Amino acid sequence: MKLQDRVCLITGGGHGLGRDFALAFAREGAHLAICGTNEQALASTAAELRAGGHRVLSLIADVSDEKAVAHLVEATLAEFGHIDVLVNNAGIAGPTAKVTEVKREDWERTLAINLTGAFLCAQAVLPHMAARRQGKIINISSVAGHKGYAMRAPYAASKWGLIGLSQTLAVEWGSHNIQVNTISPGPVRGERIESVIRNRAEQMNLSIAEVTRQYTTPLALGRFVEPEHVAATAVFLASSESDSITGETIKVSSGYGLS
């Protein structure tokens, strides 16, 4: 198996893509630490993993809280002894509004979770990875991190920032045999994109169907991304097959912007 006995820490691991990552990593033999702020979702995912015979540590943690991140990493090290892979997946959608209508607290909260949280988690695990001269960090950005995204300024800014953070970490820590890469999904089928579409339809006084077409029309494949395809890309980046890949951004986007 590609991740046999590797210890993988996944933030936002209770639901959505985080859950998909956890299940995919477990199938490849990984031991897992998952965190998030939704206790019920975390418990459900952890129970599903344990029922499959997998070893998992589940912790409530807000990644924008430096002390919570320190505790998360310390608990993971205490349980497993080391951390091979960090997946910075925790994130929120942020507000749907023009810049002039975005509240400062919503701007700051979106960046705190989506960008500062990734920074804090990387900062906490890197010394341990460097001491072992191996490690992988996977930051989950978005196609919104590659071009302007009207009505979603905080989210777009945070996702652009993740790409810059990944490339900087790759340069800083490459000599320690640590690979840092980014995945930029397009619109992924599931509850998150459905909520985004509803909010956008309400703000723009459009129908759900009209807004859905706004998201599918730029996709060469004409359909939303399947979450398991994003998870498979994460498995690849977490495995030894990607040992010569760092500082890269892989789009899993159904051909976003090609059509």
**Which residues on neighbouring strands pair with residue 35, listed in sequence order?**
11, 59
Q: How many CA atoms lie within 13 A of 41 on its CB side?
A: 18
Instruction: Look at residues 216, 211, 213 and name the one whose alpha carbon lies nearest to residue 199.
Output: 211
Query: Is the distance from CB of 182 to CB of 138 less than 8 angstroms?
Result: yes
Q: How many CA atoms lie within 13 A of 52 on its CB side?
A: 19
For residue 225, give the DSSP letter: B
Q: How deeply is 235 buried, as exposed, middle or buried, from its count of CB atoms within 10 A (0-12, 13-18, 19+)?
A: buried
Phi, psi of 161 (to 5 degrees): -60, -35
Q: Where are the beta strands (DSSP E) in the chain?
A: 7-11, 31-36, 56-60, 85-88, 135-140, 178-185, 249-252
Phi, psi of 102 (to 5 degrees): -80, 125
Query: Is the distance from CB of 83 to CB of 73 less than 8 angstroms?
Result: yes
Q: Which residue numbers are catalytic? A: 155
Cα–Cα distance, 258 to 61 (Å, whole number): 38
**Which residues on neighbouring strands pair with residue 250, listed in sequence order?**
183
54, two tokens: 């997998």
